Amino acid sequence: SHQAQHNQALIDYRQKHLGKSLSLSYSEPLQMLRGDDVYLLDQWGQKYLDTCNNVAHVGHEHPTVVTAGQEQMAVLNTNSRYLHPAVVRFTEALLETLPAELSVVHLVNSGSEANELALRMAKACSGEQDVIALESGYHGNSNACIDISSYKFDGHGGHGAPQHTHIVPLPDTFRGLYRTPDAGAAYAGHVAQVIQQLETQGRRPAAFIAESIVSCGGQIELPDGFLQQVYQSVRAAGGVCIADEVQVGCGRIGSHFWAFEAHGVVPDILTIGKPIGNGHPLAVVVCTRKVADQFANGMEYFNTFGGNPVSATIGLAVLRVIKQQSLQQRALEVGDHLKQQLMAFSERFPLIKDVRGQGLFLGFELCDEQLQPAEKQAAYLANRMRELGILISTDGPDHNVIKIKPPMTMQIHHADELLQRLEQVFNETAMQA
């Protein structure tokens, strides 16, 4: 088509000069040139409702955030070895959202860097190397992060878990190992087992890491009691508990600002990424005083860009906008509406076998009557929705989960536009189970 021709030159150049392992979305890739609140606009000015972007947390190119960044960039950007009010104000604003135990902040530039530092801290605190992580988990692109990311090393091009990584079953109560609502204890038992096994070899866990809702695993909500029990056994063995909220944090789940709070636990280390910079590279490691002091063993932690005044100013602006526009409340209201309507869809469209998630972090799983993943229909749905002006994507180890994680500025009428289009596509012949 006309559109495809205009993009072909960019595609050809990418193929020659950009890494082959970088992928493009959609069979006919889109060229996006502008963002505007819940919309992305392509080179033709065609608007797409963006329902799978938890980076543009307070909306694409939010004017307050953009202006704050522009103004600070025009005045000064430098490293954190100079005093600057922005880094302190941002830290203060962030700590206000957190339980008192989490009181020390290190600023970094990406989710990978945040988890990388979290792992270093855990290893420094415990003096151990072994990490327990969830099946289908993803925690970043660095060496240490890939080594704990089953989503990668158990997938294409991967070589399985490295020696110091211990993967426990994904606590999925829909298609996982244990499917009752009280499965939390059974899943947590696998962590206890790993710890016992390590003990027989004279080893102990350095850390347990999990997302508070597992995104790459297919928007999997952790069953009640799971984190409480796991945290208890990991800590009893001298390990540190890391909550990766690179995706789910900053009010997205609606009921709480941080998703771990819904489980009645407080991690020793929390990692924050994507949403906190609203598209600007900013990420954070928050830890307890004890972890911070054990990590500070005399070796300086220096990070050229981490905590620079521009990033800190942007982070502060994002937190202010979340508060001023009551976006956590919005996530709850619009998310509940979406979830209810999707559950109603599941009565009418038998392909939808499970609807889950909290606030504006939702997912629905497509399966046939034998609960076999309906991967083809999920891919068809995503491509058709794009043709209808809606960006939505698939996730989960079987690529059969549709994830919904839009900018938190999504309004009810945007949600209804999404639902209307979903209904339209579910009625098409290709979507019949």
Query: Is residue 377 close enough to count as binding ligand PMP by CB under 6 A?
Result: no
Q: How far apart are CA 205 and CA 165, in angstroms?
A: 10
Stretch that binds ligand PMP, among 106-114, 182-190, 222-230, 319-327 (CB under 6 A): 106-114
Region from 30-38, 139-147, 347-355, 376-384 binding ligand PMP, contact rule CB under 6 A: 139-147
Stretch that binds ligand PMP, among 12-20, 117-125, 243-251, 386-394 (CB under 6 A): 243-251
Nearer of residues 115 and 377 to ligand PMP, judged by Cβ: 115
CB nearer to ligand PMP: pick between 246 and 390: 246
H or E element at residue 365: strand 361-366
To ligand PMP, the closest distance from the beta carbon of 30 in angstroms equals 19
Q: Closer CB to ligand PMP, residue 154 or residue 333? A: 154
Q: Smallest distance from the beta carbon of 277 to ligand PMP, in angstroms?
A: 9
For residue 365, give both structure tokens.
Answer: 């799983």
Residue 211 in contact with ligand PMP, rule: CB under 6 A: yes
Our measurement of the distance from residue 309's CA atom to the centroid of its chain's CA atoms, rounded to an integer in Å, reads: 25
Classify 87 as helix, strand or coil.
Answer: helix
Identify the CA nearest to 29 among candidates 49, 19, 15, 16: 15
- By beta-carbon proximity to ligand PMP, the closer residue of 138 and 361 is 138
> Phi and psi (nearest 5°) for 372?
-80, 140
Q: At what angle do helices 327-348 and 412-426 cross, to 10 degrees?
A: 20
CA-to-CA distance for 225 and 156, rounded, in angstroms? 33
Q: What is the dihedral of CA 117, 121, 124, 125, to 10 degrees?
A: -170
Q: Which residue, 139 or 356, has its beta carbon nearer to ligand PMP?
A: 139
Mention every residue, 6+ apart, whose C-beta is less than 8 A from residue 162. Answer: 147, 153
What's the min distance (Å) between Cβ of 52 and ligand PMP?
A: 12
The nearer residue to ligand PMP, 178 or 249, going by C-beta atoms, is 249
Q: Is 253 in the site for ligand PMP (CB under 6 A)?
A: no
Piece of the chain touching ligand PMP by CB under 6 A; list 105-113, 196-204, 319-327, 360-368: 105-113
Tokens of 181: 């609502």
- Tally of CB atoms within 10 A around 169: 16
Which residues of the chain form contacts with ligand PMP (CB under 6 A)?
110-112, 115, 138-141, 211, 215, 244, 246-247, 273
